[in-house]
């Protein structure tokens, strides 16, 4: 898929750029006169609810994992104001959204319950016995 038409998230998932909305605003913080006159801060909005890029199962997983980043209308919002140029902030916002979606779609492996081996149990008990004997030998007769 072309990077100009899609934002690549995973090898199997790409968000069409037509679903992304960019908004440029003035950045805060230090920067002198430049910061007061240029709109370099980028807000990237993605409508998760109506996106055709994700399946219904993925959409539910994303809704649950990105609940803190969703606004009232179901838009995912990412902000970038690290750089002085709008183009660099746009690229940073793209990278952040892709990383956020990739991380949210990751399904953790199921934990499989295991039992300690017989050898490890025996080792633990023999160490315990050795430790108690050592402590017993250190004790002087209290009589």
Q: What is the pLDDT of residues 77-93, one digit of tens each?
A: 999 988 888 899 999 99
- The residue assigned the tokens 């030998």 is 137
| 3-class secondary structure, 23 | strand
Domain extents for the chain? 6-105
pTM: 0.71
pLDDT given at position 36: 67
Residue 4, C-beta contacts closer than 8 angstroms, at least 6 positions apart: 17
| 3-class secondary structure, 45 | strand
Q: What is the pLDDT of residues 10-62, one digit of tens each?
A: 888 889 989 999 998 887 766 667 766 778 889 999 998 888 888 999 999 99
Query: What CATH number labels 6-105?
Result: 3.30.160.20
pLDDT given at position 113: 92
Report residue 69 as tokens.
């980043």
């Amino acid at each position: 898929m072309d990077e100009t038409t899609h934002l690549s998230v995973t090898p199997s998932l790409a968000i069409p750029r037509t679903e992304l909305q960019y908004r440029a605003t003035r950045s805060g913080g230090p920067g002198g006169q430049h910061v007061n006159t240029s709109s370099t801060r980028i807000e990237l909005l993605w409508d998760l609810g109506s996106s055709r890029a994700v399946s219904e199962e993925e959409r539910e997983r994303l809704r649950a994992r990105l609940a803190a980043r969703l606004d009232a209308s179901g838009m995912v919002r990412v902000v970038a104001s690290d750089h002085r140029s709008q183009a660099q902030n746009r690229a940073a916002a793209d990278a952040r959204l892709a990383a956020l979606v990739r991380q949210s779609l990751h399904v953790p492996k199921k934990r499989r319950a295991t039992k300690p081996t017989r050898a490890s149990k025996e080792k633990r008990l023999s160490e315990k016995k050795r430790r108690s004997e050592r402590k017993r030998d250190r004790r002087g007769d209290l009589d």
